[in-house]
Amino acid sequence: MLSRADAATPSAANRSLYPLPDIPYLQERWNAGEQNARTLWREIHAHGYPAGVGQVRRLVIAWRKPPPAPGVAGQPLPATDEAVSYSPRQTRWLLSKMEVNRTAREVAYLTTLKQLCPQIAEAQRLLTTFHTLVAERAPTRLDSWLEQCEQSGIAEFVRFAHGVRRDYPAVHVALCYPWSQDRWRDKSIGSSS
């Protein structure tokens, strides 16, 4: 857990891939009454802070009051809607599933997930665009899609785009021609037609 002193002077142990957020600004907002990590993150993210909300959560967790002692009655919480949760594997499947085939519960889950993590929404958009690009065999859209991947900041898409660029001629040709193994087999020498 980070203390204020640890947060103000990051050591090698608590540094991550991204720089620490603007701590004085966050402390000022926290002391002014804004104690929601996601809201604080949205504010600094709008000003260019690249890391996710988790980085801000880890910072402000030390500023929270400890929970009441065990056995001390707390305030009852209002009733809420059913909490829907899927495993990472199920979530990955839902994100690639066609929208028309999703249940209302799946749609609600994905909507909430994408609101909480905009990178997931961007990843889904890139994946859907790529599926369409391949299905429609549209090599003219490949370059702009690769640029979008590289600018997304999502490591997996950036690596994938770099791999496609290394094999660009082969990928471009594959998108140009509608050949498949079935068609090739039908026209190959020795096939019985």
The answer on 137 and 101 residing in a single domain is no
What range does the domain containing 108 cover? 83-116
CB 46 within 8 A of CB 29: no
pLDDT at 129: 92
In a domain, 146, yes or no: yes
In a domain, 44, yes or no: yes
In a domain, 7, yes or no: no
pLDDT at 70: 63
- The span from the CA of 193 to the CA of 180, in Å, is 18
Long-range contacts of 74-81 (CB under 8 A, 24+ apart): none
The answer on 110 and 92 residing in a single domain is yes
CB 119 within 8 A of CB 52: yes
Tell me the pTM: 0.49
pLDDT at 71: 59
pLDDT at 3: 42
Please give the DSSP secondary-structure letter assigned to residue 125: H
pLDDT at 141: 93
The answer on 144 and 100 residing in a single domain is no
The answer on 142 and 175 residing in a single domain is yes
The answer on 163 and 111 residing in a single domain is no
Per-residue pLDDT of the chain (193 residues; tens, 9 = 90+): 334 444 444 443 444 445 556 777 877 887 777 778 899 889 988 888 887 888 788 777 767 665 566 655 444 444 344 456 788 888 888 888 888 888 888 888 899 889 988 999 999 999 989 988 888 888 999 999 999 999 999 999 999 999 999 999 988 888 887 764 444 444 444 444 4
In a domain, 77, yes or no: no
